[in-house]
Chain A
Amino acid sequence: MSVDAHGLDVHTVDTGAKLVRMVNQIAQHLVHDKDPVNAVADHVHAFWSARMKQQLFARGSDGLDPIALAAVQRLASGAHLEPRRGATDAEDTGCDAG
């Protein structure tokens, strides 16, 4: 095990496992959406970097809850997701900090 700048054991982080936990968390919270699979896919598409998505895809299906798995498969298949449109005109004050 490696040590950090303080000579203490580095508490290594399994980023892939963390991403699985995160997407499962998202699925758990969007379960009441009319189309939860699409909602999860859209959320990940909108807020995760390309590399995070690739890391998630590389993990396969291990540990994913069914909705999260379907969403990940949808994203991995390259399904077209609409770009998020925001306040591009003066009337729209939409904002978002996701």
Chain B
Amino acid sequence: MGYEPQADFGTPAVTSDTTVTVSIDGRMVSVPAGTTVMRAAALSGGAIPKLCATDMVQQFGSCRLCLVEIDGMRGTPASCTTLVNDGMVVHTETARLQKLRRGVMELYISDHPLDCLTCSANNDCELQDMAANVGLRDVRYGYEGENHLGAAPDTSNPYFDFDPSKCIVCSRCVRACEEVQGTFALTISGRGFESKVSAGLASDDFLSSECVSCGACVSACPTATLNEKAVVAIGKPERSVITTCAYCGVGCTFRAEMRGEQVVRMVPWKDGKANRGHSCVKGRFAWGYARHQDRVTKPMIRAHIQDPWREVSWEEALAYTASEIKRITATHGNNALGGIVSSRCTNEEGFLVQKLVRAGFGTNNVDTCARVCHSPTGYGLKNTFGTSAGTQDFDSVEASDVIMVIGANPTDGHPVFASRMKKRLRQGAKLIVIDPRRTDIVRSPHVEADYHLPLTPGTNVAVLTAIAHVIVTEGLADEAFVRARCDIDEYRDWADFVSDVRHSPEFLAPVTGVDAETLRGAARLFATGGNGAIYYGLGVTEHAQGSSTVMAIANLAMATGNVGRRGVGVNPLRGQNNVQGACDMGSFPHELSGYRHVSDPAARALFEAEWGVPIDPEPGLRIPNMLDAATDGLFKALYIQGEDIVQSDPDTRHVVAGLSAMECVIVQDIFLNETANYAHVFLPGSTFLEKSGTFTNAERRIQPVRKVMEPLNGYEDWQVTQEMARALGLDWNYTHASEIMDEVARLTPTFAGVSFARLDAEGSLQWPVNEAYPDGAPIMHVDGFVRGKGKFVVTEYVPTDERTGPRYPLLLTTGRILSQYNVGAQTRRTDNVIWHQEDVLEIHPSDAENRGLRDGDWVRLASRAGETTLRAHLTDRVAPGVVYTTFHHPTTQANVITTDNSDWATNCPEYKVTAVQVTPSNGPSAWQEHYDAHAGLSRRIMAEEPAE
């Protein structure tokens, strides 16, 4: 595909039940009532010249270039602000209009550099196009008058430049920042000739301003004023490929705009149904890791983890791996082996890893990192609704009246969806936030939570039960919905339970730390405020009561009738790009793809017939259980694709002990990650830009991942797994990832109608896609719950075992920030480090004062599991008694602190509650010193022997 800019219809699409037909330069076009003349013209195939208009934002009517003549209407109205009427006759190219437009362009060009040939936007500039469009040949005013041509550029942002000398002050960037991103970082300062785009205060540049580098302003800019540095350095793209972002669970789709094998820029795809043309700093800009010098592209092996690595051929690496797997199987049995596949990998990769483990290793010991994030979502929503996935599509938020955010920080973790949520909030929807921290969504420009319940970490169930108490005892439940859709006896049991006075907000306030009257207000609002939607994140799931909290959320949604239509629902915000897909693909040790339990003989028979091997009817080991078995000497070999469990999983010392006890750890990754320090085989992986496949986002939306450049290691990841299978004697012969999806579709009822061909044709599909739902299901449980009757589950609040005391008097909770992603393996290798160079410990000023700590001091953070050191940041975003940090940097190793406590149902770790002590420190902990020493030894790569 050659390079073409994305179509821009000038003003946003509107919806209407009424269609009107107009004539534009003699072309008849029918459009929804409320459409602008400009958009109608573009849809009819005859775009009207424009500069200040773009369909990203609402019409503005400032540039006066889009003037038209309309029969029966006086003057020359702006087509961007004039709505069509039925029977309207529009003329867009008359002599009068041409003269007017040429005059407008003359004024613009009189204060614009005439350096088109050397400009980074040459041939990709709307101003240049418009000058050509109106036939501008001369500027009568000359260029000598007062102008802005000497204005200094702002190059502070690592990804894009702002060159005010080229700015036409169309305000598209300002409006994009406001309307699309919702940050309000940009404004027009000054008036008249002094007007200029300004980021933040007069003393600010882009980097120091509130700008979050989402790139919306850069996409909106019609000139080279805001332009990607990569475009400046590389030049205009020559082709583009639509693909899906590999960061969070929003699943933004992008146009990878390329020159040869080089990515020039990633531009959010306007037709993407998850992101609707928007992006965040990670997906838009932080893709440079793909060609980072740390990429390892040759396979390596070694006998012991203290040895240096030895680069070998693929053949030798695979033969060694297969021989080790066979040796360990013969010596210790099939159940001494296992595999872990990351939720960052594609569906096809996940499916193949679990197939390799089940059919090649002969065990169900396979798990995915969804274990440590959203496994409680699966358990909780399966029990209550019958399906683990979120109930809505992202578009649904546009119809929400009350939005409840629990244990999620969407502006940092899921920023593109957060922008859509904030847009709805600016339109008047109400907001309830349940979070120990005052996250940005609690208060940001033009958004303020109606209720913020700053609960004590670990008390989610108590808070949700108290909310339910208010709803039931004050007669606010939607009993008609419950009677029609849910098991009424179970509802009554639940209603009796929550009505008990011991679940009242007043009784529970000392436990939850939440003011009773505030909680009552929030409960009343949610029950009576119209369409109520609940969005939640890892602050719900990563607790000892994670599964109970998910079920308490489901109870609340059912009790208030907020399931089964647009604007409502229960929406888990998935952490990684393919958490949903990894779960769908059978990556759990007790389930085959499509959530069929391994003990189900009918399900096993399907797979056994397709694969030609028997499948163990007993569940396998989950990740924590594998590590326990390893320290017990019973688990000896682990194949890990794309996951860095040493950094991401809790209780690092236990993870390291488990890995160190194994005889063969095989790591497949793009970098020598922390886990590779304990590996015996390293198989180089490929980035999302280098392979084909699919990701499934938090909406159950299956989207294509397309190879935009050749893999640096020579193989896509699924091909490496296939080669390993072949080395073990399995006769696998996939020639393309699409054939893996074909097998998934054959074996998985919910994917029966999915194929690469359909995804190419339709862009994306939301499962289930089968005979019952041939086009997928944007919203689930519309006519009834998947399980039949919705199930109310009594969720007793059980305090976590992790409690504060004299030795560890503070509670640590962990999370992430906007610019870094998960363990940071990707984002730390981009310019995103400019915003976050290290993990810091947020601590309330009063707790800091009690310990003699100042902002920026090094502190020792200790729990019963271990200790580390990092810098303190004093802030009242956290309540007294609570401290917070991120886990993006291996030098910090925040998970040395977290414990082996886990969710009762799923073993999802309790990352969010750890009792800790914070004290002044003047150096790294003993663990950090020893870890660094081992990492230094373990990362050595043996020098190649000189040629004879």
- A→B interface (CB under 8 Å): 4-8, 10-13, 15, 18, 22, 25-26, 28-29, 31-32, 43, 45-52, 83-98
B residues in contact with A85, CB < 8 Å: 597, 600, 602-603
A residues in contact with B629, CB < 8 Å: 15, 51
CB of B563 to closest CB in A, whole Å: 15
Asked if B931 and A6 make an inter-chain contact with CB atoms under 8 angstroms apart, the answer reads: yes
CB of B385 to closest CB in A, whole Å: 10
Q: Is B126 an interface residue when CB atoms closer than 8 A count as contact?
A: no
Known: A13-B631, A52-B625. A95 touches B594 (CB 8 A): yes
Known: A15-B632, A51-B634, A98-B590. A88 touches B926 (CB 8 A): no
B residues in contact with A28, CB < 8 Å: 796, 798, 904
Q: Is B275 an interface residue when CB atoms closer than 8 A count as contact?
A: no
A46 to B364 alpha-carbon distance, docked (Å): 13
Q: Is B405 an interface residue when CB atoms closer than 8 A count as contact?
A: no
A31 to B595 alpha-carbon distance, docked (Å): 26
In the complex formed, the residue of B with least CB distance to A2 is: B657
Asked if B905 and A86 make an inter-chain contact with CB atoms under 8 angstroms apart, the answer reads: no
CB of A94 to closest CB in B, whole Å: 5
CB of B783 to closest CB in A, whole Å: 13
Q: Is B934 an interface residue when CB atoms closer than 8 A count as contact?
A: yes
Cβ < 8 Å to A, chain B residues 478-505: 493, 497
Asked if A8 and B930 make an inter-chain contact with CB atoms under 8 angstroms apart, the answer reads: yes
B residues in contact with A25, CB < 8 Å: 544, 904
A to B CB contacts below 8 Å, 25 in the list: A4-B653, A4-B660, A5-B306, A5-B934, A6-B927, A6-B934, A7-B930, A8-B930, A11-B865, A29-B798, A29-B904, A45-B599, A49-B618, A49-B625, A83-B617, A85-B597, A85-B602, A87-B596, A90-B749, A90-B770, A95-B378, A95-B389, A96-B388, A97-B379, A98-B378
A residues in contact with B930, CB < 8 Å: 6-8
In the complex formed, the residue of A with least CB distance to B937 is: A5
Interface centre among A13, A87, A94, A97 (most CB of B within 10 A): A97
CB of A89 to closest CB in B, whole Å: 6
- The size bracket of the interface on B is 35 or more
- B→A interface (CB under 8 Å): 305-306, 335, 364-365, 370, 374-379, 382, 386-389, 493, 497, 544-545, 547-548, 583-584, 588-591, 594-597, 599-603, 606, 617-622, 625, 628-629, 631-632, 634, 653-654, 656-657, 660, 678, 749-750, 752, 767-768, 770-772, 780, 786-787, 794, 796, 798, 865, 900, 902, 904-907, 926-927, 930-931, 933-934
A residues in contact with B386, CB < 8 Å: 93-94
The number of A-B residue pairs with CB atoms under 8 Å apart is: 182
A60 to B904 alpha-carbon distance, docked (Å): 21
CB of A72 to closest CB in B, whole Å: 16
Q: CB < 8 Å: which of B547, B625, B772 contacts A91?
A: B772
A residues in contact with B750, CB < 8 Å: 87, 93
Q: CB < 8 Å: which of B588, B656, B770, B933 contacts A97?
A: B588
A37 to B544 alpha-carbon distance, docked (Å): 21
Known: A10-B657, A26-B905, A47-B590. A95 touches B584 (CB 8 A): yes
Asked if A83 and B599 make an inter-chain contact with CB atoms under 8 angstroms apart, the answer reads: yes
A residues in contact with B621, CB < 8 Å: 49, 51-52
Q: CB < 8 Å: which of A12, A26, A83 contacts B600?
A: A83
A43 to B547 alpha-carbon distance, docked (Å): 13
> Can you name 18 extra interface pairs (CB under 8 A) apart from A8-B927, A11-B654, A46-B590?
A11-B657, A13-B631, A32-B493, A43-B905, A47-B905, A85-B602, A86-B594, A86-B595, A87-B595, A87-B596, A92-B786, A93-B750, A93-B786, A95-B595, A96-B382, A96-B388, A97-B375, A97-B583
Asked if B595 and A94 make an inter-chain contact with CB atoms under 8 angstroms apart, the answer reads: yes
B residues in contact with A32, CB < 8 Å: 493, 497, 794, 796
Asked if A46 and B906 make an inter-chain contact with CB atoms under 8 angstroms apart, the answer reads: no
Asked if A83 and B597 make an inter-chain contact with CB atoms under 8 angstroms apart, the answer reads: yes
In the complex formed, the residue of B with least CB distance to A26 is: B904
A residues in contact with B547, CB < 8 Å: 29, 98
CB of B378 to closest CB in A, whole Å: 2
Asked if A11 and B653 make an inter-chain contact with CB atoms under 8 angstroms apart, the answer reads: yes
Known: A15-B628, A98-B906. A4 touches B597 (CB 8 A): no
Asked if A86 and B600 make an inter-chain contact with CB atoms under 8 angstroms apart, the answer reads: yes
CB of B338 to closest CB in A, whole Å: 10
Asked if B600 and A97 make an inter-chain contact with CB atoms under 8 angstroms apart, the answer reads: no
CB of B591 to closest CB in A, whole Å: 7
CB of B79 to closest CB in A, whole Å: 47
A53 to B900 alpha-carbon distance, docked (Å): 19
CB of A7 to closest CB in B, whole Å: 6
Asked if B600 and A84 make an inter-chain contact with CB atoms under 8 angstroms apart, the answer reads: yes
A residues in contact with B657, CB < 8 Å: 4, 10-11, 13
In the complex formed, the residue of B with least CB distance to A86 is: B596
Interface centre among B597, B768, B902 (most CB of A within 10 A): B597
Asked if B619 and A47 make an inter-chain contact with CB atoms under 8 angstroms apart, the answer reads: yes
CB of A66 to closest CB in B, whole Å: 16
